[in-house]
Amino acid sequence: MKPCFILVRPQMAENIGTAARAMMNCCIDEMRLVEPDYSPTCERAIATSSGAEEILYNAKVFNSVKDAIIDLQKVYATTGRTRDQVKPVFTGEGMAKDIAVQSKNNIKCGVMFGPERTGLENRDMDYADVIVRIPLNPKHTSLNLAQAVLLTGYEIFRLTDTTSETGMYTANQEMASKAELDHLFNKLENDLEANNYFKVPEKKPRMIRNLQNIFLRANLTSQDVRTLHGVFDYLNNKQ
Amino acid sequence: MKPCFILVRPQMAENIGTAARAMMNCCIDEMRLVEPDYSPTCERAIATSSGAEEILYNAKVFNSVKDAIIDLQKVYATTGRTRDQVKPVFTGEGMAKDIAVQSKNNIKCGVMFGPERTGLENRDMDYADVIVRIPLNPKHTSLNLAQAVLLTGYEIFRLTDTTSETGMYTANQEMASKAELDHLFNKLENDLEANNYFKVPEKKPRMIRNLQNIFLRANLTSQDVRTLHGVFDYLNNKQ
């Protein structure tokens, strides 16, 4: 169960559109709007949503924060500023983890975002169980609405994302086998030997090891090995 | 040592400004620009940077990607699209961790971002050691330039940020001591006893326990305890 995102009194149609785009980036589908200055389906919002118009067409508009959150069970309020209310404060990551726990227990959550100029006011925060403050440069925490939506949605998305942190894009090529590498290294050694590259015999093992390490670090594909065979042949005037 | 961010052929002055703003959010100071259509210090860029103009005034402009990266030792290229080149691919988190390792070893890194309309081209990717692909909704990975800069910078910032994921904002109030809570619970119990609230004696321990848990879950401050004393007194007509 995913949280809904609630934009409170957004002032610019463009920001409604770009917020929808950011929500779609992060697989957050449900947008709610409280007293927006523009309809979520106005031309400018649709244009700036860059393909996320589905979210805008499904967005619901409410006359008050209370109406927008009344069916929810837990409400988070994003703010860059400290409020004079005693409430739990979570980071974006803390919020994402908490929403995941609530969702497992079928507790319906919503995240509120304030108007562009002022942010959420105390009367809006009254409805929040938790304040969310995304850690950023303390000297420059100000985000525009779509960027606040993006970072918040990103924390929720990244918690469940399983993409490997590092990998190799091989353009559909196979990684070279150790047999192919061994063949390449032997050929290079023999060609260099034939061309009198190893002038000091005692240094030869170390020189070969260093050369091999260059190519091992390159994570060669089978195609790369074939390419290097050709390169060595041409350098060696065998073609 | 922090990485520099390199905007390659940015087309809109506004995006240079909002990218600077996003960089400042994430404590990334050094901006480089390759063949920008507008000067980083043009009026529109400064206006949209929302206070990050220092980054714009210090930004360096280059005539080619090669010139912009030539003093670096490791280059990361952000792209939402797969390129037909065999290169390592890291997530945003993978990139941030790798940059942290490189920085510890005094290796100077840079992260490239492509033009708004096309993204980085193959000729730009030629200079990259690593492709960075930030996992997002596979059906909607498209980000505008400033948002790509923000998510990339955020991953770098959040890696070293030490903010507690969850906490309590107490508005400068002390959390209540167990002695204060004990006093409050005793008073409530006595007042309820005097008002004949506990009609079935066997149920009394459980009822008291449930009431205590309501107030324990509320994480009361000392001020909250004083407030509740007053509330109970008023309800009890002692005032």
* Predicted confidence (pLDDT) at residue A214 exceeds the cutoff of 90: yes
Q: What pLDDT does residue A171 have?
A: 83
Q: Could you tell me how many helices (H) and strands (E) chain A has, helices first?
A: 10, 8
Q: What pLDDT does residue B116 have?
A: 86
Output b/e per residue, B189-209; b: 16+ Cβ within 10 A: beebeeeeeeeeeeeeeeebe
Give the least confident one: B66-75, B91-100, B230-239.
B230-239
Q: Phi-psi region for residue B155, left (φ > 0), alpha (ψ -120 to 50) or beta?
A: alpha
Q: How far is CA B121 from CA A216, B71, B130, in A?
A: 28, 21, 14
Chain A hits for B135, Cβ within 8 Å: 157-158, 161, 163
CB A124 within 8 A of CB A114: yes
Q: What pLDDT does residue B1 have?
A: 80
pLDDT classification of A174: cutoffs 50, 70, 90 = very high
Mean pLDDT for chain A overall: 94
* Predicted confidence (pLDDT) at residue A27 exceeds the cutoff of 90: yes
Q: What pLDDT does residue B84 have?
A: 80
Q: What pLDDT does residue B142 have?
A: 85
pLDDT classification of A230: cutoffs 50, 70, 90 = very high
Sheet strands (E) in B58-100 = 60-62, 74-78, 87-90
Sheet strands (E) in B38-171 = 60-62, 74-78, 87-90, 109-113, 130-132, 166-169
Of A29 and A118, the structure prediction assigns the larger pLDDT to: A29
A167 and B89: CB-CB below 8 Å?
yes
Q: What pLDDT does residue A84 have?
A: 80
Per-residue tokens: A70: 């009344």
Q: What pLDDT does residue B82 have?
A: 65
Question: Cα(A202)–Cα(A193) distance, rounded to whole angstroms?
Answer: 14
Give the global pTM. Answer: 0.92
Question: Cα(B95)–Cα(B158) distance, rounded to whole angstroms?
Answer: 12
Give the best residue of A149, A158, A221, A227 to mutate against chain B (max B CB count within 10 A). A158
Beta bridge partners of residue B169, listed in sequence order: A87
For residue range B167-208, what is the model confidence (pLDDT) as tens digits?
Answer: 998 888 999 999 999 999 999 999 999 999 999 999 999 999
Pick from B60, B63, B87: nearest CA to B75: B87
Give the best residue of B166, B217, B220 to mutate against chain A (max A CB count within 10 A). B166
* Predicted confidence (pLDDT) at residue A2 exceeds the cutoff of 70: yes
Identity of the residue in B51, B82, B169 whose CB atom sits nearest the CB atom of A169: B82
CB B103 within 8 A of CB B41: no
Q: What pLDDT does residue A34 have?
A: 98
Tell me what ipTM this predicted complex has. Answer: 0.91
Q: What pLDDT does residue A54 have?
A: 97
Give the least confident one: B78-92, B95-109, B136-150, B212-226.
B78-92
Q: What pLDDT does residue B124 have?
A: 94
CB A24 within 8 A of CB A58: no
Give the best residue of B50, B165, B228 to mutate against chain A (max A CB count within 10 A). B165
* Predicted confidence (pLDDT) at residue B20 exceeds the cutoff of 90: yes
φ, ψ of residue B77 to 5 degrees: the values are -120, 120
Give the least confident one: A42-46, A62-66, A193-197, B62-66.
A193-197
Kindly report the nearest CA distance between residue A236 and chain B, in angstroms.
26
Counting residues of chain B whose pLDDT is more than 70, the rounded percentage is 97
* Predicted confidence (pLDDT) at residue A222 exceeds the cutoff of 70: yes
Give the helix ranges, DSSP H, for A26-134: 43-48, 53-58, 65-69, 92-104, 122-125
Q: What pLDDT does residue B239 have?
A: 61
CB A57 within 8 A of CB A24: no
Q: Is B181 helix (H, G, I), strand (E, B) or coil?
A: helix
DSSP3 helix / strand / coil % (chain B, rounded to 5): 45, 15, 40
B51 and A161: CB-CB below 8 Å?
no
For residue range B48-95, what is the model confidence (pLDDT) as tens digits?
Answer: 999 999 999 999 999 999 999 999 999 999 986 666 888 999 999 999
Whether the CB of A222 is below 8 Å from some CB of chain B: the reply is no
Question: Cα(A72)–Cα(A75) distance, rounded to whole angstroms?
Answer: 7
Mean pLDDT for chain B overall: 94
